[in-house]
């Protein structure tokens, strides 16, 4: 198995509350895991505009908002929807196996 196909356990599905980000660390990478609209997403937890944890922000309309300056990032693509952020943040593939939420640190393209 190559590193690109390695999925790591992030948390239990039962630990996730709807629209409430959960911060986890996988191999030293901060990741925000979010259950919203019937899906689970994993996005890098650090805002591309400022060194701020996205998991402390609000989730709405499949976006996570940085609490500091208000930039929101699409949970599917990592792209910002408004200023001041102009760069996307990495998003990661997610698999659900039983109650386990598994995340691969390989970025989705």
- Kindly report the pTM of this predicted structure: 0.91
Contacts of the segment 71-76: beta carbons below 8 A, 24+ positions apart? 71/47, 73/43, 73/47, 73/48, 75/34, 75/36, 75/41, 75/43, 76/41
Kindly report, residue by residue over 45-81, the tens digit of the pLDDT. 999 999 999 999 999 999 999 999 999 999 999 999 9
pLDDT at residue 5 tops 80: no
Supply the pLDDT for residue 3.
46
Which residue has 């500091």 as its token pair? 68
């Amino acid at each position: 198995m190559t590193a690109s196909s390695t999925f790591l356990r992030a948390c239990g599905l039962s630990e996730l509350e709807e629209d409430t980000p959960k911060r986890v660390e996988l191999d030293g990478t901060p990741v925000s895991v979010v259950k919203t609209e019937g899906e689970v997403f994993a996005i890098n937890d650090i805002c591309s505009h400022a060194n701020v944890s996205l998991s402390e922000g609000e989730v709405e309309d499949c976006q996570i908002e940085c609490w500091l300056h208000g930039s929101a990032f699409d949970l599917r693509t990592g792209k910002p929807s408004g200023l001041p952020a102009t760069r996307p943040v990495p998003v990661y593939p997610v698999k659900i196996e039983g109650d386990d939420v598994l995340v691969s640190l390989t970025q989705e393209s």
